[in-house]
Amino acid sequence: MEYVTAVPHPRTEAAAPARTGRRSLAVALLCGALGAAVALLASRQRWAEGTAAVAGGAFPLSAKGSEVTGVPAALAVVGLAALVAVFAVRRAGRVLVALLLALSGAGTVAAAVSGAGDSSALDEKAAQASGDTAATAAALTHTGWPYVAAAGGVLILLAGLLALRYGRRWPAMSGRYERAGTTPRTRRARPVDPDRPEELWKALDRGEDPTERA
C-alpha cells in the first residue's frame, strides 16, 4: 500500500502571512482608536469627590480626570497620532513609531492608576473654597473612571505590541506612489498633417507647435 503525502500548495503558504497581517492590522486599528477614545472620554469624567468646611457647612467638591492629571489624555492623543504614523514610515521607522505607540499605552495605564487615589486636586479646591491654604478635602471618595482610562491605555498598548510584532506586514501610505514612480510621463506630440487644417487647430488647442516635425 502506497501512502501519498499531501504537499501544501505554494499559494496557500504565501497567503497565510498576508491574512495574518490583515487581521493584526484590523485588530490594531480597532484597539488603538477605541483605546484613545476611551481614555479621552474617561479623562473628562469625575474622578474624585469630597467636601470642604466653609462657614460651618460642608461645601461639595469634585475633580475631573483632566484636573487630577492631564497625562492620560495627552498620551492618548500621542498614541492616536503614532497609530496613524505607523503607515507613513517603513522598516526601522515603523519599529520606532510602534514602540512609541506601545509606550503611550503603558504610560496611560500608569498615569491613570496613579491618579485613582490622588486627592491633590480636591485639596486645592478646598483651600480655594475655604480661603485657608492648609485646608484639605474631607469625605473623600473616588470613582471608577480612572480605571476606565487605564483600560483604554491597555488597548493602546495592545495596538503597539501588534504593530511591533506584525507591522512589517502592513501596507504603507506611500507604497502606491513609489510603485507608480515619481517622475511624470511626458506626452509625445502626434505628427500633424499640414494638408489637414482641422489637425492644425487641434494641435494648437493641445498647446503644441504644428510647425515642428518629428
- pLDDT bracket for residue 178 (50, 70, 90): very low
Query: Phi/psi of residue 45, each to 5°?
Result: -95, 170
Residue 110 has pLDDT above 90, yes or no: yes
Residue 189 has pLDDT above 70, yes or no: no
Q: What global pTM score does this model have?
A: 0.72
Domain ranges of the chain: 17-172
Q: When comparing pLDDT for 21 and 58, which is higher?
A: 58
46-83: b (≥16 Cβ within 10 Å) or e: ebbbbbbbeeeeebebbbebbbbbebbbbbbebbbebb
- pLDDT bracket for residue 151 (50, 70, 90): very high
Highest mean pLDDT range out of 17-21, 153-157, 182-186, 210-214?
Answer: 153-157
Asked whether the beta carbons of 150 and 109 are under 8 A apart, the reply is yes
- Counting Cα atoms < 13 Å in the Cβ hemisphere of 27 gives 17
3-state secondary structure at position 61: strand
Q: Tens digit of pLDDT for each residue in 24-52?
A: 989 999 999 999 999 999 999 999 999 99
Which is nearest to 46 in space by CA: 128, 122, 139, 156? 122
Q: Tens digit of pLDDT for each residue in 2-17?
A: 555 555 555 555 556 6
Average the pLDDT over 132-155 and give the result.
93
176: DSSP letter = H
Name 179's bridge partners.
Answer: none
Which class would CATH give 17-172?
mainly alpha
pLDDT at 170: 86
Calpha distance 105→193 (Å, rounded) = 69
